[in-house]
Structure 1
Amino acid sequence: MKQQFLNLAFILAISVAFGQTTVDSIVNKGIEFHDTGDYQSAIETYKKALEIEPNSSLVHTELAMTYMYNQDYENAIKHSDLVFEQNGDHLLPAYITKASSLDYLGKPDEAISLFQEGIEKFGDHFLLLYNLAYTYYEQEEYEKAIPILKRGIASNPDHSSSHFLLGEIMSLLNRNAESVLNLHYFLFLEPNTDRSVTAFNMLLNKYGANVSQDEEKENQINISLDPEQSSGEFGPANMMLSMLGATNMIEKKEGKSEMELFISNTESVFKILGELKDDNENSGLYWDFYIPFFHDLAKSEHLETYCYYISLSVNDKSPEWLNENSEKTEAFGDWLQGLNTENQETQN
């Protein structure tokens, strides 16, 4: 009898393992459908997995997410709640999916409360922080979104969307120097996507913000800065951005190319911000994270390479330049690796 029990247990264990393998393979197929945008096929695939393992938190999580992308927010919430009921694995994505679905359903207050609950449970996870900030952004509560995004970037500096959203918000608030830093770092992380085109054009608009040319007097250039832009810790940098616009108008007439102007402007902005940091005791994300990196870059021999790299989405000549200057491109990569190693040693 004991031997028979052991044999039965072995058979059951094999069956469970086989079932799990089958569920995982079905889920992987569903993910493939999801990633290609075929949400309906993904949903049908996940349902097959539920027939094998009805209480799989993994399947309910993936199904909830696909329902959300398919704009079926009620079902997204339903399957997220099933993950919550199990109170086991996959709670983090369930928080994000349900809260985002509530936001899409026009219930931002409920979404915000759920994001905050998730942050209390999981700490400063960058995805929870980003989505909470995005909800505030959609409600035009920009000042609430800013510190949350800063916490998210501190949690994961490589999350490009956080830099992009912060850059958008700073732009809307006419905090141009800060927006320039956000957009530059976003482009450093994500140089060649549709969003990169938007970010690069926003960046160009900041180089020369508040500058206009008199239509009747061709040689007269007008600069207008409101008191908030010209004062405060970023006041000198905002003034310089406007001065760059005036300088660009002159240098274009002298035959400088758009890329030459962009490289020159970038160097000027990075250097003046670095000098401002050296001259004061300001601290925070911009002064302790963005500015030291970009100031070091401006002082290095790699700024030109960097500028061609981040302009891949808008400059047809950038891929050609990077290919033709492969030694410079590799040297830039080595410099970044050395900087990363140095930072890790400092932290340790």
Structure 2
Amino acid sequence: MKQCLLLVGMLGSGIWLHAQDSVRVKTLITEGISLHDQRQYAAAIRKYDTVLRIDPVNLVAQYEKSYSLMASKNYKEAMVLSRAIAENKNAEPGMTGNAYSTWGSALDESGDHQQALKIYDEGIKKVPGYYMLNYNKAVTYFRMNEMEKGIAELKLSLLKNPRHPASHFMLGRIMHYRKNKVAAMMPLLTYLLYDNKSKRAEEALTLLRSIVEGNIRTLDSGKYAVDIAPEVLAGAGKKKATADDDFGSMELLLELGAAAASANAAVKEMLPADRFAYLLKQAFNSLTEQEGHDGFYGSFYLPFFTGMHKKGLTESFAHLVFLPSGNVMNEVWIQDHRGQMEALRTWAQAYQWPVAETVKR
């Protein structure tokens, strides 16, 4: 995945360049990045090649070219260039991590998963704190159907960068697929805190609503029935001591809470976003009472949501994560409650996520 590369120090390896060439190089790289963002990869590569004719050792141009090569599926050339950057002693740690990430991804896309894992490990050894290497390693493991290893790498990615949206999204999606609803709900909610405007955010909200709003259906009699998975009923109150992602008893409460809400005339009359906020509050009430979850979900996610709930920020949070729905009345609510939204933003920005040493994986 591409990281935001600042153009500060762009001419680090070519400081001797004439001032006019320096300005031209900056302009060409900026134009190349713009073309890449427009998916005009071949045109972007031509810009970078022009830079490299002026300054053959320009690391920024090399990196940007490698990324455009990767995006245009020219994996072989992307590997060669990324390897050169990764082995360049003048590259800063962030660029080195980027290079290993692109190198491994090119191998992975080419079908050489085992070699990709080796490159990621080499990169992690050289740049231990670079989270994207763990994220990409997780992607490779999932392609190899090594689910537990992939999940472990996602957790490492989040411990290195708790504000990485894609890691939250992928973890939530996998837990949802596994029908671990509460373990899916927490990373999906966190993902929507950091990204609530993309197409992926729309998918995340759809998955989240299926959890929070439950599987409610109306009977011919006008009464409501809730579909509860047999494994949830069987596991309720029988939490496995070693299964930190097992929130069976709370899942039962979620389903019953959604059913009760659907039978409540006042709740039925609520606007969609308000109803979602109401149900999320009910879910957070249950979360704050959860005990015995001292593994990753319990020590990484639970403190965040219980802390938010105790601060009275759940309603604002619910409306924020509901943004991908495109619901106009939800947007009106946000505009009318700017003070509450600012309080949420301030609290979330200041929140200190747990560090690796305090979290069991």
Deviation of the 1:276 alpha carbon? 1.2
Deviation of the 1:40 alpha carbon? 1.4
Deviation of the 1:326 alpha carbon? 2.2
Identity across matched positions, percent: 25
Moved more, 133-142 or 187-196: 133-142
SS, match of residue 54 in structure 1:
coil
Residue among 265, 273, 278 paired with 2:279:
265
Residue among 278, 294, 312 paired with 1:283:
294
SS, match of residue 25 in structure 2:
helix
Moved more, 65-74 or 138-147: 138-147
Q: Does 1:332 align with 2:334?
A: no
Q: 2: CA distance between counterparts of 1:23 and 1:207?
A: 52
Q: 2: CA distance between counterparts of 1:51 and 1:104?
A: 29
TM value normalised by structure 1? 0.84
Q: Does 1:296 align with 2:307?
A: yes
AA partner of residue 118 (structure 2): S
Q: 2: CA distance between counterparts of 1:122 and 1:57?
A: 17
Deviation of the 1:261 alpha carbon? 2.7
Deviation of the 1:117 alpha carbon? 1.5
Q: Which aligned pairs between 1:303-322 and structure 2 lie closer than 5 A?
A: 303-314=314-325, 315-322=327-334
Q: Are the aligned partners of 2:162 and 2:353 in contact in 1 as well (CA < 8 Å)?
A: no
Which stretches in structure 1 are left out of the alignment for 5+ residues?
A: 1-11
Residues 1:343 and 1:235: Cα distance change in structure 2 (over 3 Å):
closer
Q: 2: CA distance between counterparts of 1:70 and 1:153?
A: 29
Residues 1:26 and 1:76: Cα distance change in structure 2 (over 3 Å):
same
Q: Are the aligned partners of 2:129 and 2:160 in contact in 1 as well (CA < 8 Å)?
A: yes
Aligned to 1:203: 208
| Aligned residues between the structures | 329
Deviation of the 1:295 alpha carbon? 1.4
Aligned to 1:226: 231
AA partner of residue 299 (structure 2): D
RCO (CA 8 Å, sep 6+): is it higher in 1 or 2?
2
Q: 1: CA distance between counterparts of 2:53 and 2:47?
A: 10
TM value normalised by structure 2? 0.81
Deviation of the 1:208 alpha carbon? 5.2
Q: Please identify which structure carries the higher helix content.
A: 1
Aligned to 1:160: 165
Q: Which aligned pairs between 1:50-89 and structure 2 lie closer than 5 A?
A: 50-89=52-91
Residues 1:254 and 1:286: Cα distance change in structure 2 (over 3 Å):
closer
Deviation of the 1:202 alpha carbon? 0.2
Q: 2: CA distance between counterparts of 1:149 and 1:341?
A: 19
Q: 2: CA distance between counterparts of 1:58 and 1:320?
A: 43
Q: Deviations over 1:119-147 (max 9, x none)?
A: 12211421111111122223332211112
Aligned to 1:122: 127
AA partner of residue 241 (structure 1): L
Which stretches in structure 2 are left out of the alignment for 5+ residues?
A: 1-13, 241-245
Deviation of the 1:184 alpha carbon? 0.5
AA partner of residue 235 (structure 1): G
